Amino acid sequence: MSNAFASVGTKIYLSYAFDSSTEVYVAVAEVKSISGPSPSREQIDVTNLDSTGGWREFIPSFRDGGEVTLSMNFSRTDFENMSDNFNSNVQSEYLVGCKIVLSDTNATEIVFDAFIMSYSINIDTGDAVTSDVTLKVSGAVDFTT
């Protein structure tokens, strides 16, 4: 039997007032899709003249939490919050707490800190006004239940 589950009911929450003692998460409205986070790891080439059989050798280096991309129906409140966050140069204002809560039976949470890297508004003939947002993960990505 499969353990697959539908994405319906999955939510992403952001906390704009970044202070872990008073962090309050607010749901982002009308999200249509979430892509990421996409962690990766840098590598260091340690190949040397003694490397066995002429094969390159590598060791792991820094990890990168990657990015999270949101596609959503336009919400003025969310758009203004993200714009204010994007325009801030103060870490306590531009770094947001993020939490993706999956719709599985365990309500798995993907928790990370990020900043708004880019945002856009999309206006097309005969379609809903939408918005795309890219978050850059800063630090670790944690999975909890």
**Residues 56-86: tens digit of each pLDDT:** 999 999 999 999 999 999 999 999 888 888 8
pLDDT band at 99 (very low <50, low <70, confident <90, very high): very high
- CATH number of the domain residue 105 falls in: 2.30.110
Q: Is 48 contained in some domain? A: no
CB 64 within 8 A of CB 141: no
Residues in the chain: 145
Q: Is 32 contained in some domain? A: yes
- pLDDT in the model for residue 84: 86
Q: With pLDDT > 90 as the criterion, what percentage of the chain qualifies?
A: 72
What SS3 state is found at 91?
Answer: helix
Does the pTM of the predicted model rise above 0.75?
Answer: yes
Residue 83 CA to its chain's centroid (Å): 16
What is the count of structural domains for the chain?
1
Tokens of 142: 């944690």
pLDDT band at 91 (very low <50, low <70, confident <90, very high): confident
Q: Is 5 contained in some domain? A: no
pLDDT band at 90 (very low <50, low <70, confident <90, very high): confident
Cα separation, 143 vs 24, whole angstroms: 19
Q: Give the residue numbers spanning the domain of 37.
A: 11-43+60-144
Count the neighbouring beta carbons within 10 Å of the beta carbon of residue 111: 16
Q: Is 115 contained in some domain? A: yes
Assess whether pLDDT exceeds 80 at residue 17: no
What SS3 state is found at 82?
Answer: helix
